[in-house]
Amino acid sequence: MSKKILDIRELKREFQMGSETVRALKGISFEVEAGEFVTIMGSSGSGKTTLLNILGCLDKPSIGDYFLDGVDVKKLSRDELAQLRNRKIGFVFQAYNLLPRTSALENVELPLLYNREISVSERRDRAIHALEAVKLAERLDHTPSQLSGGQQQRVAIARALVNEPVMILADEATGNLDSRTSYEIMSLMQELNSQQGKTIVFVTHEPDIASFSSRTIQLRDGRIQKDTRNTDQRSAKEVLAGLPITDDY
């Protein structure tokens, strides 16, 4: 259980904006082990987005090392990074980013299309399985416009699960949802974390959401301000049950 999924050492990231150098990350080190549910918090300008891009292998650090599941990201080319994302990371975005006019099943199949080792029938089976895991087994043929926001985000989570990544990387995944639906999503995340042992890194600025995770990393001005284990992890399921039932959808 103590396998290191993320291993970040003295990570720095600088951007050249004209003649000025913007130092977004000023030296960050932390490790995430398999099965952890980490939230990364911070106000805007704290370097949260930059860190997320690097964690998601969309960007590379200027200085410092980043090992994702033992792979040194720094040495990889653009195409190799794409392949790494395909095999090891499942993204969940704030705006869902589902393909319009495309069924839930096909949206979930999408990452597998870029994995040439997976056959057509296996692709379909795994997509159906992933949709079952997010409790959307009856909505396979629905297009995003026929689904509610929460359902769309669940399709997106299924898409993140389908390639069996080592880490689910969520970027403000509840940012577009009302609190009830947010709790539903968090409940699903907790379930995936506890029952299936999925490692989850969840970027958010809401302390309420962070309280559902097992660990919170607080960023401020490009440095880690606080890295705390959450001893008092709340259960989203219970919170959900405690909510007054006002609207019945």
Partner 1 sequence: MNFFNLIRIAYKALQRNKLRAFLTMLGIIIGVASVIAMVAIGQGSKQSIHDQLSSMGSNMITVLPSSNLNGGVRIAGSSFQTLTQKDIVALKKAQYITELSPSITSKGQAINGALNWPTTIQGVSPDYLDIRKLSLKDGIAFTEDDILTSAKVCLIGQTVIDNLFPNGENPIGKVIRFNKIPFQIIGILNPKGQNAFGQDQDDILIAPYTTIQKRILATIYYQNIYASAASEQVTDAAVSEMTQILRDSHRLRDSEDNDFTVRTQAELINTLSSTSGLLTVLLTVIAGISLVIGGIGIMNIMYVSVTERTREIGLRMSIGARGKDIMLQFLMEAILISITGGIIGVVLGIVSSNLVTLTLSWPTIVSESSVLLSFVVCAITGIFFGYYPAQKAARLDPIEALRYE
Contact residues: partner 1, CB under 8 A:
53, 56, 58-59, 78-79, 82-83, 85-87, 91, 93, 97, 99-102, 106, 110-111, 113-116, 159, 163
What are 220's strand-pairing partners?
223
What single-letter DSSP state applies at residue 59?
S
Alpha-carbon distance 181 to 150, whole Å?
6
CB 131 within 8 A of CB 138: no
CB of 24 to partner 1, least distance (A): 12
The 10 Å CB-count burial string (b at 16+, else e) for 227-240 is eeebeeebebbebe
Pairing of strands 63-68, 71-72: antiparallel
Q: Please state the closest distance from residue 177 (CB atom) to partner 1, in A.
A: 19
Q: How far is the CB of 56 from partner 1 (least distance, A)?
A: 7
- Shortest Å, Cβ 26 to partner 1: 20
Distance CA 189, CA 51 (A): 21
State the alpha helices, DSSP H only, in the chain: 48-55, 78-88, 104-113, 120-133, 149-161, 179-195, 207-210, 236-242
Q: Shortest gap between Cβ of 210 and partner 1 (angstroms)?
A: 23
Nearer to partner 1, 80 or 132 (CB): 80
Q: How far is the CB of 54 from partner 1 (least distance, A)?
A: 10
Amino acid identity, residue 12? K
C-beta closer to partner 1: residue 79 or 247? 79
